[in-house]
Structure 1
Amino acid sequence: NRDPRSWILEGSEDGESWQTLHTVTAHEFKERYEKAVFQVASPGLYTWYRFRNVLSQSTVPDGFIQLSEFGMDLLDKLEAEPDEGMSTRIAQGVADCWTGNLGTGWSGPGCLEIAGTVSEAAPGRCVNRIFENLNIPVGKNTRFSFCILPFYRGDFDFSHANKYVSLDLRFTDDTLLSETGALDRDGFPMGARGQGEARRTFTGQWNYVSCDLGAFAGRTVKDILAVYERNEGAQKGESFLVYADDIRIEDVKPVRRETPADWVDTTRGSNDSFVYTRGLHYPASCLPNCFTAWTPSTTDGQRRIYAYQPGSKITHFMSSHAVNYCLGDHGNFMVMPNCDLDAASCSPADADVWHRGSDFDRETETARAHGYSVTLKRGNVRAEMAPTMRCGVFRFTFDGKEAPNVILDSMNAEVAAHGRITFNEDGSFDAFTDQYSDQGKGMPGLYVHGVFGVKPVLCRRLSEDTPLSIAAFPKGTKTLTLKIGTSYISCAQAAKNLEEETGSLGFDALRNRAKAEWNELLGRVKIDTRGVPDNYLITFYSCMYRLFRFPTTLTENTGTPAKPVWSYTSPYASGVDKPKVFPGDMRTSNGFWDNYRTTWSAYSILAPEKDTEALNGILMHYKETGWLAKWLCPRGVDSMVGSSSDIICAEAMVKGIEFDRDTAFECAVKNATVVPPEAMGRAAMSYYPFIGHVATAGYSWMIEDSVNDYGISRMAEILGHEDEAEYFARTAAFYSNMFNPEIGYFVSRYPNGDWVRNKGNFDPFMWDDGFAESNAWGACVSAVFDGEGLCGLYGGREGLTKRLNDIFAADCHFTRGFVTHENFEARDLRMGQYQHNNQPSQHIPYMYAFTDEKYKTQALTREILRRLYVGADFGQGYTGDEDNGEQSGWFILSSLGFYPLSPGSGEYVITSPLFDRVTLDLPTGRLVIEARNNRTENTYIRSVTVDGRPWNSIVIDHKALLGAKRIVFDMGPRPSDWAKGTYPVSLTPKGEKPAPWQDLLPADGFYADNTSDTSGTISEPVAVTLEEPRKAAMVTICSADRTKAPKAFRLYG
C-alpha cells in the first residue's frame, strides 16, 4: 500500500523556479523488487530536481511512501544501445549501482562510459585510446589502478559481454601491459580478455583493479586504452555498457606490514549495501571476543553503520555491539572531535548527527583490529582510537589554531533512546543509553564513564530535550586523549572497568597491547609470504580477525583484580536501566545456523582454549532460561532454522574440547524432544518426531534437524548413552523422507505425506519453497553426514557425481520465489547453481569426496579461494554476508587444505592448499603444511605425506591432524588418482539407502495419534493390533506434564 502510484517530477536551475518535466498517474508495481523505468517527457539541463504530489497505492494513506531504491539517469538518453563498434565518452555518472552512489562515478560526478556491440560471433577485439602521449615513467613503486562497473540493464547479461571490457597500457616500445603476463594484485591476468576469462569482476557495482608495475621499471607509459576482447563465446549483436573511473598511474608508498595484525583491514565487507552484500559489516576495532567494539560511523543512525563509498562523512566514533546489520545494534555511545563550533552557544542542530560530520580521504584511513585512525578534513583533526576488552581510548590531534571540543551523544537517530550524560566536577562524565534494535532487546542499556586527558574548560548539555552535550578545551590544545569505560551494570562499574583495563597507560601503550593480543592469535598461523599476493595475506589475516570477533562476552569483574568475580548482566531478567546481575561468563552475538559449518571447527584447531570459553559461555543461556536459542543477540532471537548449537557441541565433544558436556547433551536432547516455547527449540515438534518429516515448507528444518540429530547421536556415544545414540542415529536419517524419487530432488511434504512438489509443478531454480535462503539445487546434497545415503538415493556413486556435476553446469539464473539479495549474489558467482555467497551451499564442492572424482574438489576450492574473495583492498573481500566468521572460517580452513565437511564426524576432507608453506604454532604443537610445485596451474594433489609417511585417504581426523609435525602436498597440473577408493565416514553403510525407523503403531487414540497436542491418562493396559507381525526395536513415550510422567512401563508382545 505504500508503493508510489502517482507523482510529478520537476526541475530547476536555481532551486526556486520549477518546471514540470514528467507526470505519472496510476502506476502499479506488480511484484516486489520490480524496477520501473520512465523516459522523462520534457528533459532538460537542471541542477535541482524534486518530486511533488506523490501519492501511494493506499486508499487510506498513512503518510508513508516506501521505496527500496531511486535513481536518475543523467545521460543524453536512457540506457542507449550503442552502434556497432565501441565508443567511449564522459558520462554524468551511473544510473544504477547496487552497492554505491547513483548519478556519480566512483569518486566524482562523472565517469568514463565504454559502450559497444559485437559485430561478429568470431573472436573480437576493439581498442579506443582514452589518454595518449602521456610519457609517464615507471618506477619500482608505480601502480596502475582503476575502478570499473559492468552495468546492469535490468535483465542480467548471461552472455557476460560486459566482463570482457577493461583498461590496458601501451608503453613507448609499443608493447601492451596485457601482453607481458602482468597480474593484478589479486593474481589475475591484466587486460580485457584476461580479466573476462578469470571472471574477476561483478555486475552492477564498482570493482577495483590494480597492478604493481615495478617489474617494468624503466619503461614509459605512452597511452591508456579501453579494450573489449573476447576469444570465445561472443555472439553477434551482444552489447556491452561499462563504466570506468579513478584511473591512476602513480607511485605508491609501500605499506609496512611487519606482523600478522598489520595485514588486517577491518573495512573489508563494508563496500556493499542491503541490496547486494560483500560482507555486510563495519570496521570494528576490538579485542578478540570483546565486550564492546569501537567503530567510525558514516551514517545518521541507520542499521548500516559504515559506508565505504567516497562522499561519505564520518559523523562520529562510537561503541558498538552489532553482530550484523540485519539484527541491528545496541548500546551506542558516540563522540566526535570538533574545532569550529562555539561550545558556549552552539545549538543541538549544530552538533547533531546530521550536521557534525566531516569529509575524509581514504588515503588517511588506517583500519586495523587493534586500532583505527583517520584525518578529518573538517578542522584537519587526526582522530585515533584503540580498544580494550570493555573500554575505548581516543587520541585527537588538533592544529592548535582554534579551541577544540568534543561532542558527546547517547541518542541514536533511528531509535528514540532515553540517554543521559552527566558531567562531574573533575571533568569526567557518566552516561547512559538504552538504545537498542528491535531484536536486540534484553539488555538494560549501556553505562559509560569517560575521562579526558585535559580537564575541560566548559561542559554543557545543549538542550533539556536531548542528552547531546559538548566539552570544550583551552585554545592551543593540540593533543587530547579520552578514555571511555563501558558496562551493563552501572556507571560505577564502567569506571571500575576503565581503571582496571587502562590504569595510567597512555594511548600508544594501550594500542600496542591490543596489537600484541591480536598477534598472539593471528601469529599462530605463519604464512611464507614469498610470491604471495598482498591481497591474499590481507584476506587471510582479516578473516582470522573476523573469526575471533565472535562470540562476544557479557561478563565483567565485580570483584577485585586480585580476587576477580566474573558476573554478567542478564539479557532475559533485566529491565531498562534495571540490570539483573548473575555470576558467570555469558557469551552472545552468535547465529548457530550461520556458522556451525566452519567457525567452531576453526576454533578447535587454532584456539581450543577459546573454544572452551565460548562453549561454556553460550551454555549459560540454557542454564539461566532452560533453552538455548538459534540466535543470540544478545538474548535468544527467533531467526533461521535448526537447533544448531547441538551440532556445535557435538563437534567439540568429538574433538576432545573440554567444556560442560553434560549440560550440552541435556540441552541438545531437550531441543530434539520437547515442544518449545516461542522462539526456542525446533519447529513442528508437536508432530515431526512421530511422522518423520517437517510439513509443508520444511525441508530446511528437516535437514538441519537431521544434521543435529547426527550430532546428538555422536555425543550420546561418547557419554555412554547407548539408547539415545541409536535413537538419534535413526532420526538423523529422517532427511531421506523428503526425497521425492519421481523428480530426484528433496522437496517439502504435506502433513499427510503428500508431496508439495511433483513433476507437474517442480522448479529447482525456485528460491525459498521450503529452502531457507536457497533452492532445490542448493539443498540437494545437504546431508553431509550421510554421503553414502545420498549415493543410495541418487542411484549409486555415479548418480551422486552426476548430481554434483549438474549443480556446477546448470544455468546460474533463479526463479523468483522469495527474492532477496542472496539471489542476485549467487547468480553473479557464475558457478552454476553453487551459492558460495550463503551458508547452505558452501559444503557442495567437498561432496565430491564421496565420489570417484575427488579432484574436482581441489579445482573448485582453489577457484573459490582465488576468485570469490576479491576486493580485499576495496572494502569488499566477500561475496554475500559474512556471518560471525563463517565465510572467513571457510577461507581459512580451505586455504590450509582441510575442511570439516561433516561436523561431529571428527574428520576433515583434504583439498588443494592455497599457500606454498604455512606453519601453525598451536597449543598442541607446531605443524608445517607444505605444498610443493604449488603454482597457479598446479591445482591437483598428486600425493600427500604425513610426517614422511604416505597418506592416501581423502580425509584426516582431528587427532591425526593436530598430532602431525609436517604435512607435504605434491601438486600437479592434471587430476590424479590420489585417495582413490577412500571416502568420508557416513551414517549409512556403503551400498545401502538411508534407513530411518518407521512408527509401527497405527495413528489411533491420543496415545498414538502422532501429535503432542493431545494427551490423556492411561489407567488400564492398552492393546494395539498390527496388521502383520513386526519387530519393535525401540519404544518412545511422551508426556504432557513432567510431574505426571510415567516412571516405569512394561511392553508385552
Structure 2
Amino acid sequence: MIKYILQCVFVLLLISCGKQEGTSRDKKPVGDLVDLVNPLMGTDSEFKLSNGNTYPAIATPWGMNFWTPMTNNMGDGWTYKYDDYKIRGIKQTHQPSPWINDYAAFSLMATTGELKFQEDERASWFSHKAETVKPHHYSVYLADYDVVAEVTPTERAAQFKFTFPESEESYIILDAFFKGSMVKIIPEERKIIGYCRNNSGGVPDNFHNYFVAEFDKDFEVHHTWSDGWELAKNSLDSEGEHVGAIIGFKTKKGEAVHVKVASSFISHEQAQINLSREIGKDTFEQTKEKAKQAWENELGRIVVEDDNQDNLETFYSSLYRVLLFPRKFYEFDKDNKVVHYSPYNGKVLPGYMFTDNGFWDTFRAVFPFFNMMYPELNGKIMEGLANTYKESGWLPEWASPGHRDCMIGSNSAPIIADAFLKGVKNMDTELLLEAMLKNATQLEGRPVNSVGRAGLDYYNDLGYVPYNVGIHENAARTLEYAYADFTIAKMAEKLGKTEIAEKYFKQSMNYKNLFDPSTNLMRGKNKEGDFQSPFNPLKWGDAFTEGNSLHYTWSVFHDIDG
C-alpha cells in the first residue's frame, strides 16, 4: 500500500507552482477536497500480477486505527478486492502492505433472520452501486440482510451505524479473530469488551489490542463462540484461539442501531478513555463531520489548479494515501499525557511512537515531502525514532508494529539527516546520530536482517557487499549504504563533528566500486574483485532490489556528476 504513485504528487505540485500569471482562478477545485479522493483507487488487486495492493482505508490522517470492509478471508493480506462480490464484515485494520499483512484486527457485521456467524456463512452480497466510499465515511448495503452498514472514524475510535429492516431476528456480530482473543458481553451497560492478539510478527509476548464497543439498544440475545466456531448460546464471555460475541434484538423498519468503538494497545481502561475523549456524546453525523474536517485540513495544505477533473482526483487520491502512514502508535492517558505501548519491549512508556512504514519505500520522496509540508508532524516522528532506538537498541527500517524483516538499506539515516538539515525542531540529534553510527559500525545483535546493515563487515572492509557471499540484493545494498554514509557525513558536518564527517564523506564514494566502465553501469562484484558474470542489465532483482542495473545505476543521489 505504501508503494503508491507519490510521483504524481510532485509532478502536479510543480505544475501548480508554475502557473502563469493571469491564469483563470476558476480552475481551483470546486467543493470539498475530500470529495476528490477515491479510496477504491488501487483496490483492483491481483496477487500474481502485483497490481493494486491497496484497500479502502476509512481513517483520519495518520490515525492509530483504520477501518475497511472485508471481502476476503480473515488473515488474507488482500482483504478487499474490487471484483469480489461479498462482504464478511468491517474490520479495524493496521495493515500497511499486503505482504507485511495485518495485526490487531477485529470486525463488526450485521445480519438478520436465521443466525449466521461463521465467516463464510455470514458474508453478504453487495454492489458498488450501493456502496459509498470516502476517507471519512463508508456505507454499504448488505443485500442478504437488507441492512445498511456505515462507519466513520476518529484517530483511535469509530462510530458504526447499522440501519435494519423490520425483523424479529437482528444481530450484530463482533469477531475478535484468530491467534488469541477474548470477548465479554455486559448487557446492563450495553457493552462488549475484549481483546485481540492477531499479528504477523514484530510484537512482544504481551501484545494485546483491547477494545470496547458501546451500543444504544438493549440486548435481547447474547451469545459467544469459542474455538472451532462452537456457539455458546446465552453466554457472556469467551476466551481462546478465536472467539467472538453476538448480540441480538428485534428491529423496526429503518431502525438505526449505533455502536461506538475504541481500542488501545495499553489496557481496557485506556480504550474507554480513548472512546470518551474522541467520541463521547457525539452523534454519528458529528463524528463524520469531524473526520471530514480532519481530511480537509491536511489535504488543503496543497491546492492544485487544473481544469482536468481526472488530474485533480488522481492528485488528491494519491495525497490521501501519503497521509495515512506512518501510523500514530501513541495514546493520551487520563492526564492527557502522550504515552505509548512499546512494540519493541512491551512496556508502556512516555512519548511518541509511529509505526507501519518501510523506509526503503519512503525515504526518497515521502519524508522529504513531510519536511516541506508537515514539519511539525515529522518532528514527532523523529522523537518516535529516538524512542525506538532507546527501546530496542536499533533504528527501524520496516516497522509493523515492531521490527520486521523486509526490504534492504539503511534508510533511517537519510530520513533523520534530511529532517535535521531542513530544520525540523526538537530532535534529539546526539542520540539519533549515535543510532545512525551504530547501524554503520555494528553487525551483531540486530533483531532482524533488515535492521542495521546486512553485509556490513564486507562493506566496511572491501567497500562493497559482494555478489558471491550469499547476501541477496548486494549491489542495491552497497549503493544505499553509500548514500546513507553521505547523509551521516552531512549531519555530522553540521554538528561540527569533523572527523566523523570526513570518514563518511569518503565512505560515501563506495558506490564507485560497483561502476563497471566497460558497460557504464552498476554491476554486482564478487568478493575476489571481479564483476559478476554473465551480466544482463535488464535482469530484475538478483543483485538489485525490485529493479535492475538500468534503474540502480542512477541511485547515486549524492554525487550526480560522478
Question: Normalized against structure 1, the TM-score is what?
Answer: 0.47
Cα distance between partner residues in 1 of 2:224 and 2:539: 56
1:449 aligns with 2:212: yes
Seen in structure 2, the aligned counterparts of structure 1 residues 393 and 326 have a Cα distance that, compared at 3 Å, is: same
Deviations 1:110-145 (A, max 9, x none): xxxxxxxxxxxxxxxxxxxxxxxxxxxxxxxxxxxx
Cα distance between partner residues in 1 of 2:82 and 2:204: 28
1:548 aligns with 2:315: no
Deviations 1:146-183 (A, max 9, x none): xxxxxxxxxxxxxxxxxxxxxxxxxxxxxxxxxxxxxx
SS of 2:184 mapped into structure 1: strand
SS of 1:734 mapped into structure 2: helix
How far did residue 426 of structure 1 move? 1.7
SS of 1:420 mapped into structure 2: strand
Match of 1:372 in 2: 138
1:284 aligns with 2:57: yes
The one-letter amino acid of 2:219's match is P
Match of 1:712 in 2: 488
SS of 1:372 mapped into structure 2: strand
1:259 aligns with 2:32: yes
SS of 1:642 mapped into structure 2: coil
| 8 Å Cα contact 2:385/2:396 also seen in 1 | no
SS of 1:470 mapped into structure 2: strand
Match of 2:363 among 571, 590, 596: 596
Cα distance between partner residues in 2 of 1:592 and 1:367: 29
Match of 2:121 in 1: 355
Residues 351-430 of structure 1 aligned to structure 2 (within 5 Å): 351-412=117-178, 417-424=179-186, 425-430=188-193
1:526 aligns with 2:303: yes
Match of 2:442 in 1: 674
Cα distance between partner residues in 2 of 1:785 and 1:449: 50
Cα distance between partner residues in 1 of 2:224 and 2:30: 43
Cα distance between partner residues in 1 of 2:95 and 2:49: 19
Match of 1:665 in 2: 433
| 8 Å Cα contact 1:443/1:634 also seen in 2 | no
Cα distance between partner residues in 2 of 1:428 and 1:257: 42
SS of 1:787 mapped into structure 2: coil
Cα distance between partner residues in 2 of 1:710 and 1:299: 44
Seen in structure 2, the aligned counterparts of structure 1 residues 573 and 408 have a Cα distance that, compared at 3 Å, is: same
How far did residue 769 of structure 1 move? 2.4
Match of 2:403 in 1: 636
The one-letter amino acid of 2:366's match is T
| 8 Å Cα contact 1:359/1:376 also seen in 2 | yes
How far did residue 443 of structure 1 move? 6.4
SS of 1:525 mapped into structure 2: coil
1:484 aligns with 2:261: yes
Cα distance between partner residues in 1 of 2:171 and 2:31: 35
Match of 1:701 in 2: 477
Higher relative contact order (CA 8 A, sep 6+): 2
Seen in structure 2, the aligned counterparts of structure 1 residues 740 and 608 have a Cα distance that, compared at 3 Å, is: same
Match of 2:277 in 1: 500
Deviations 1:253-309 (A, max 9, x none): xxx972111111111111012212334111111111111111111012112110101
Cα distance between partner residues in 1 of 2:267 and 2:55: 27
| 8 Å Cα contact 1:443/1:488 also seen in 2 | no
Residues 155-304 of structure 1 aligned to structure 2 (within 5 Å): 258-301=31-74, 302-304=76-78
Cα distance between partner residues in 1 of 2:206 and 2:455: 30
Cα distance between partner residues in 1 of 2:305 and 2:393: 48
Cα distance between partner residues in 2 of 1:288 and 1:369: 9
| 8 Å Cα contact 2:109/2:174 also seen in 1 | yes
Match of 2:510 among 708, 725, 734: 734
SS of 1:694 mapped into structure 2: coil
SS of 2:219 mapped into structure 1: coil
Match of 1:624 in 2: 391
Cα distance between partner residues in 1 of 2:206 and 2:484: 30
Deviations 1:595-650 (A, max 9, x none): 10100111112211111112222321112122013211110112111110100111
Match of 1:845 in 2: none
| 8 Å Cα contact 1:370/1:515 also seen in 2 | yes
| 8 Å Cα contact 1:442/1:571 also seen in 2 | no
Match of 1:535 in 2: 310
| 8 Å Cα contact 1:352/1:468 also seen in 2 | no
Cα distance between partner residues in 2 of 1:708 and 1:455: 59
Match of 2:4 in 1: none
SS of 1:593 mapped into structure 2: helix
Cα distance between partner residues in 2 of 1:639 and 1:677: 17
1:557 aligns with 2:332: yes
| 8 Å Cα contact 2:345/2:391 also seen in 1 | no
| 8 Å Cα contact 2:164/2:251 also seen in 1 | no
| 8 Å Cα contact 1:622/1:628 also seen in 2 | yes
Deviations 1:811-832 (A, max 9, x none): xxxxxxxxxxxxxxxxxxxxxx
Seen in structure 2, the aligned counterparts of structure 1 residues 631 and 515 have a Cα distance that, compared at 3 Å, is: same
| 8 Å Cα contact 2:355/2:401 also seen in 1 | yes
SS of 1:275 mapped into structure 2: helix
Structure 1 stretches of 5 or more lacking a match? Answer: 1-255, 575-579, 790-1053
Cα distance between partner residues in 1 of 2:206 and 2:445: 21
Match of 2:12 in 1: none
Cα distance between partner residues in 2 of 1:449 and 1:737: 57
Deviations 1:821-853 (A, max 9, x none): xxxxxxxxxxxxxxxxxxxxxxxxxxxxxxxxx
1:333 aligns with 2:95: no
Question: Normalized against structure 2, the TM-score is what?
Answer: 0.87
How far did residue 441 of structure 1 move? 6.3
| 8 Å Cα contact 1:710/1:729 also seen in 2 | yes
Deviations 1:637-696 (A, max 9, x none): 121111101001111122111122222211111111222423220012223212211112
How far did residue 395 of structure 1 move? 0.6
Residues 1013-1024 of structure 1 aligned to structure 2 (within 5 Å): none
How far did residue 472 of structure 1 move? 0.8
Cα distance between partner residues in 2 of 1:593 and 1:467: 37
Deviations 1:360-392 (A, max 9, x none): 111221211111111111222111101111111
* Aligned-residue identity in percent: 30
The one-letter amino acid of 1:592's match is F
Deviations 1:316-335 (A, max 9, x none): 00100111110110111111
Query: What is the aligned residue count?
Result: 509
SS of 1:404 mapped into structure 2: strand
| 8 Å Cα contact 1:418/1:434 also seen in 2 | yes
| 8 Å Cα contact 2:330/2:353 also seen in 1 | yes
Q: Which has the higher helix share?
A: 2
Match of 1:210 in 2: none
Structure 2 stretches of 5 or more lacking a match? Answer: 1-28, 226-230, 233-239
Match of 2:421 among 654, 675, 686: 654
Deviations 1:188-242 (A, max 9, x none): xxxxxxxxxxxxxxxxxxxxxxxxxxxxxxxxxxxxxxxxxxxxxxxxxxxxxxx
SS of 1:435 mapped into structure 2: coil
| 8 Å Cα contact 2:190/2:216 also seen in 1 | no
Higher mean C-alpha displacement, 539-548 vs 592-601 = 539-548
The one-letter amino acid of 1:734's match is N
Cα distance between partner residues in 1 of 2:167 and 2:409: 59
SS of 1:474 mapped into structure 2: strand
SS of 2:124 mapped into structure 1: coil
| 8 Å Cα contact 1:748/1:770 also seen in 2 | yes
| 8 Å Cα contact 1:328/1:439 also seen in 2 | no
Residues 93-132 of structure 1 aligned to structure 2 (within 5 Å): none
Seen in structure 2, the aligned counterparts of structure 1 residues 598 and 279 have a Cα distance that, compared at 3 Å, is: farther
Cα distance between partner residues in 2 of 1:588 and 1:753: 40
Match of 1:569 in 2: 341
How far did residue 442 of structure 1 move? 6.1
